[in-house]
Structure 1
Amino acid sequence: MSLTTLLYILLARWRVIAGISLGALLLALAYILVTPRTYTSTTELLVDSKAQDPISGQLLSGRTNAAYLATQADIVRSRKVAAKVIDQLSLHQEPGLIKAAGGAPSRPWLMGFVREGLVVNPRRDTSILAISFISQDPQLAAKLADGFAQAYIQTNLELRIEPARQISEWYDQQLTALRAALMEKQNALASYQEEHGIVDNERVDLESAKLAALSSLLTSIQNERLDSESRSTQLSAATRNANSAQALDDPQVQRISTQLVQAQARLAELGSQVGNNHPQYRQAQAEVDTLKRQLNRTLELVNTSLRSSVALSQTREEQLKTELAAQKEQLLQLNRIRNQRNLLRQEVDSAQAAYDAALTRATQTRLESQISQTDIALLNAANLPSRPTAPKTAITLVLALVAGLMLGTGLALCLEWFDRRLRTGDDLTNGLGLPILARLPDDGFGKAGP
């Protein structure tokens, strides 16, 4: 089918197309007249998805703008926000709603009404949340749009501070237990220090110095004992050998030993000169014997003194060893006491740190639970709509006309298919396969033919 043939068909069936189009327009007009007019009022909110913590001033991470706005839109649509709107605006006393409900509206009816007319639209690539309400009453539409915005802001604030309030109460309970534990640890430390007489570390230092002094004194006494034993051994050897007495460091022994050596030398000289029976030799011999006896007595006295000194040193050494052992034990006991005191002090410090951390966090959560600011700001309040948003008269009529024309055209083509006619010379040639011999002039619309 050529375009010319199609045009002839449409011109031939114009009454059908016009009638259907007119009918569609009449139906659309009836729809416009019957359908109640509805008005839409919109409130715009600015939602900061990257808000700062009002306590610490740090940026709150973990938010994406699209997901955050989608979450906020679901909060606006929630039953909790709708219930707040009903209560705050006293919708059960609204005359228009009483009339629409046929009496005092029930709460489920009001809940369905406000949620049905609510439209929440997060603006794409922005932080703006549009809250719209559709109603037959323009004033009620604006009132409910603003009411939803205010209820949403309050709900957002409650959702923010409620967890902080619960955490704050939990921390208050924990602080009581931590405070009691801290006082218990402090009292235990104080009692332990009082029981063992611990004031500071000076006592341990004094006992350590005393132990060092006793150790030094013991070493000195041991050295003295060893020296006395050595001298006593030398005296015993000197008693057997008079010549070795000169090696002793005692002045009296050295003097007598010197005199004895001189007397023995004089005795030997006289023996060679006068003989053993000479009176001078006998006198010199008596002098030597006297010096030997005197030297032996002196060595015996010195040896006795040294043995007494050794015995005294041994007694003093045993006493010092006992005192040193006792001092070591006392110092070890003090160290054990100090170690136990340090453990108690560490427990106190640990309890203090836990209490301080909990107190800091409790103070922070208490402040968070008292915050009255949100990250939501009113950008544009709802205006009283001056024109209805539905039904849209012009768009409805245009769509009805287009639908009527399309339906009429389709019907005309269907009629033409079932009642085919020859409208042009080409139809005759194509339909019958005969050539056209002549054409008569057109004397009117729809009268032309081969």
Structure 2
Amino acid sequence: MTLQQFLLILRARYKIALLTLLVTVLTTLVVSLLLPKQYTASSAVVVDVRSPDPVAGMVLPGMASPAYMATQVDIIDSDRVAQRVVKLLRMDESPVIREQWVDATGGTGDFNAWLADLLKQKLDVKPSRESNVINIEFSGKDPNFTATVANTFAQAYIDVNQDLKLAPARQSAAWFEDQTRAVRENLERAQEALSAHQQKTGVVATDERLDYETARLNDLSARLTSVQTETTDSSSKHKSTSSETLAEVMQSPLINSLKSDIARLEAKFQESNVNLGINHPQTKRAESELASLRRRLASETRQISSSIGTTYEVGKQKEKELLEAMEAQKKRVLELNRERDGIAVLMRDVEAAQRTFEAVSQRAAQTRLESQSVQTNVATLNPATVPTQHSRPKILLNVLISIFLGSLLGIGIVLMLELANRRIRSAEDLLQAIDLPVLAVIPGSGAREVSKPPKLPKLPKLPKQLGSTAS
């Protein structure tokens, strides 16, 4: 079908197309006027994704993702928010609404869920482009009710958003409370074990006592070394064959004085023996004094030698006692080392339990603050007001759409009627119908000049016999 044929068909059946367009527009207009008026109230909330968390003190990374705003839209359109709206508006307490629910569902299902579904059917949540503002629109027949529901949805969203934020914090706080009690019990057990060990051993300050005992052991060791040196020296002197060569004997003032007296008396004795004779009383007296001095010298020498032997025996006894004291002191030091190691282990247990308790207590305090926080990053930007003009039906828009659809419908009906009852409306239609050349076109009664016939197709060349006959 060519454009000329299409226009000829429309010209021939334009009344049907106009009638269809008129009926469509009138029907749309009547229906739009008869439909109940719907009012739409809009409330806007803003989601702050850049403010730091008041407890953590940092911006949560998940809030900056593009999916965060889509998640907030889904939360507003969720059953939980809608059911909270039902609770806030006390719609579940209305006997009239309950009767409607019984009539609609026969009393089966959840009443609050049914009301929430009804509210969600008239709810429209639209996030703003390239901003953190979300528009909450609610439509209904009562303008006051629509504004109230829109504002209630905004408040319910803020409450649910806060609950969703606090629910994990409350669970974490409860878990950390249990962990705090557990680590506190561990700390108390570790402290009790340390205290019991200290009471059992009587050791409180292990380092000071160990230093004292170690110093005492070092003093005993030094004394033992000194005694062993003296004992070795006494032993060598005690085993000496000549007592006169001992240093103590040679260095004794009394021995030296006796030796001087003996030397003087020997000289006097020799002089008296030579001058007076051996039997002279003076010679005898000198001899007697000399013998007495020599006995005294021998006695003093023996006494010094005996004292060296006694010193050796005393040194050996003292060395033995010091060795025993050192062994006992070594055992005491080793015992203190063992007790210190045990106390050190217990003290490390206490310190580890203390650090764990402090860390868990700090985290528990933070989660407790988070669970008790009343702040949220959502705020109402523009509360809904009572709409003064209805939002639906939109009469002008409906009429414009009906004009477009009525035109399409009229053209469609005209084409269907034409296809059902095909008419010859031009020379091209006749040429297509009979497949013969058109010689002329007879104009209608109102035509002033003869239409020019269409260009004839070239006839095929006839045979000579047919041509002669025609002539």
TM-score range for the pair, normalised by the shorter chain length:
0.7 to 0.9
The corresponding residue for 1:144 is 149
TM-score for the superposition, normalised by structure 1: 0.79
- In the alignment, the residues of structure 1 paired with residue 6 and residue 26 of structure 2 have an alpha-carbon distance, to the nearest angstrom, of 27
- In the alignment, the residues of structure 1 paired with residue 161 and residue 135 of structure 2 have an alpha-carbon distance, to the nearest angstrom, of 16
- In the alignment, the residues of structure 2 paired with residue 291 and residue 370 of structure 1 have an alpha-carbon distance, to the nearest angstrom, of 111
The corresponding residue for 2:86 is 86
Deviation at 1:211, TM superposition (A): 0.8
- In the alignment, the residues of structure 2 paired with residue 116 and residue 323 of structure 1 have an alpha-carbon distance, to the nearest angstrom, of 98
User: Structure 1 pair 418/114, CA: closer, same or farther in 2 (3 Å)?
Assistant: closer
| Segment drifting more, 294-303 vs 204-213 | 294-303
The corresponding residue for 2:283 is none
The corresponding residue for 2:134 is 129
Partner of 2:376: helix, strand, or coil? coil
* Residue type at the aligned position of 1:335: N
The corresponding residue for 1:228 is 234
User: Does 1:219 pair with 2:225?
Assistant: yes
- In the alignment, the residues of structure 2 paired with residue 10 and residue 398 of structure 1 have an alpha-carbon distance, to the nearest angstrom, of 22
Percent identity over paired residues: 33
The corresponding residue for 2:118 is 113
Deviation at 1:395, TM superposition (A): 2.5
Deviation at 1:71, TM superposition (A): 2.1
Instruction: Structure 2: give runs of 5+ residues left out of the alignment.
Output: 268-290, 454-471
Within the candidate set 391, 395, 398, 1:396 is matched to 398
The corresponding residue for 1:12 is 12
CA contact (8 A) 1:182 1:352 kept: yes
- In the alignment, the residues of structure 2 paired with residue 97 and residue 8 of structure 1 have an alpha-carbon distance, to the nearest angstrom, of 61
Deviation at 1:70, TM superposition (A): 2.2
Q: Give CA-to-partner distance per residue, 1:254-312, whole Å, 9 cap, x none.
A: 969x99xx9xxx9xxxxxxxxxxxxxxxxxxxxxx999999988776554433332222
- In the alignment, the residues of structure 2 paired with residue 376 and residue 185 of structure 1 have an alpha-carbon distance, to the nearest angstrom, of 47
Corresponding residue pairs, total: 427
User: Does 1:161 pair with 2:163?
Assistant: no
The corresponding residue for 1:362 is 364
- In the alignment, the residues of structure 1 paired with residue 373 and residue 326 of structure 2 have an alpha-carbon distance, to the nearest angstrom, of 69
Q: Give CA-to-partner distance per residue, 1:327-383, whole Å, 9 cap, x none.
A: 111111122222222222222222222222232222222222221111101111112
The corresponding residue for 1:309 is 311
User: Structure 1 pair 249/338, CA: closer, same or farther in 2 (3 Å)?
Assistant: farther
Q: Give CA-to-partner distance per residue, 1:126-146, whole Å, 9 cap, x none.
A: 212222212122221111111
The corresponding residue for 1:62 is 62
CA contact (8 A) 2:210 2:337 kept: yes
Quote the RMSD (CA, aligned, Å): 4.2
User: Structure 1 pair 403/166, CA: closer, same or farther in 2 (3 Å)?
Assistant: same
CA contact (8 A) 2:255 2:301 kept: no
CA contact (8 A) 1:425 1:436 kept: no
The corresponding residue for 2:281 is none
- In the alignment, the residues of structure 2 paired with residue 390 and residue 67 of structure 1 have an alpha-carbon distance, to the nearest angstrom, of 32
Within the candidate set 206, 211, 232, 1:205 is matched to 211
TM-score for the superposition, normalised by structure 2: 0.76
The corresponding residue for 2:354 is 352
The corresponding residue for 2:284 is none
The corresponding residue for 1:434 is 437
Q: Give CA-to-partner distance per residue, 1:89-140, whole Å, 9 cap, x none.
A: 1225779968976999954542332122222223333212222212122221
Partner of 2:213: helix, strand, or coil? helix
Aligned positions of 1:162-201 closer than 5 A: 162-200=167-205, 201=207
Deviation at 1:46, TM superposition (A): 0.6
- In the alignment, the residues of structure 2 paired with residue 93 and residue 196 of structure 1 have an alpha-carbon distance, to the nearest angstrom, of 74
User: Structure 1 pair 57/108, CA: closer, same or farther in 2 (3 Å)?
Assistant: closer
Deviation at 1:63, TM superposition (A): 3.1
Q: Give CA-to-partner distance per residue, 1:181-206, whole Å, 9 cap, x none.
A: 43443344334334433342322221
- In the alignment, the residues of structure 1 paired with residue 381 and residue 120 of structure 2 have an alpha-carbon distance, to the nearest angstrom, of 23
| Segment drifting more, 105-114 vs 245-254 | 245-254
Q: Give CA-to-partner distance per residue, 1:2-28, whole Å, 9 cap, x none.
A: 323322221112122122222322442
* Residue type at the aligned position of 1:83: Q
